[in-house]
Amino acid sequence: MKPYMIIPLLAVFAMIGYLPAAGAVPAASAALVGKYGFDWLRPEKAHCAPVTAKTLTGADCKHHGAGDTGSFTGKADFYSCKVGPKSEYMIYPSQARCAEELETMQANAP
């Protein structure tokens, strides 16, 4: 391929979705928008809040299903989203579940 054809080709890939836009939220993370979570690495400021696209910008999210551990209550079906070296959100399907997990975390804090 000739070098002068690469830039237009990249532009086409970006338009049809093969290349993510800068600051875009991956589709898997976008499905979490509207669920509830808190930043467990900042316990003094942790509170359950609706998840927004801004919260997840640049996040690396992992689903924890049946058989996984890491939930404060021991229940499965939640996401952990690493946003930076000092920020990781725990995301739950409902506000009630989020509140239960946060209360358990706070009750077991040193």
Q: pLDDT tens-digit profile of 12-39? A: 444 444 444 444 455 557 789 999 999 9
Asked whether the beta carbons of 62 and 71 are under 8 A apart, the reply is: no
- List the Cα angle 88/31/103 in 5-degree steps: 45
Output the pLDDT for position 13. 42
- Give percent of the chain with pLDDT exceeding 90: 57
Output the pLDDT for position 106. 94
DSSP code for 91 = E
Name residue 21's amino acid.
Answer: A
Asked whether the beta carbons of 61 and 80 are under 8 A apart, the reply is: yes
CA-based R_g, the chain, Å: 18
Q: What is the pLDDT of residues 46-58, one digit of tens each?
A: 999 999 999 898 8
Classify residue 78 by burial, with Cβ atoms within 10 Å: 0-12, 13-18, 19+.
buried
pTM of the predicted model as reported, rounded to 2 decimal places? 0.72
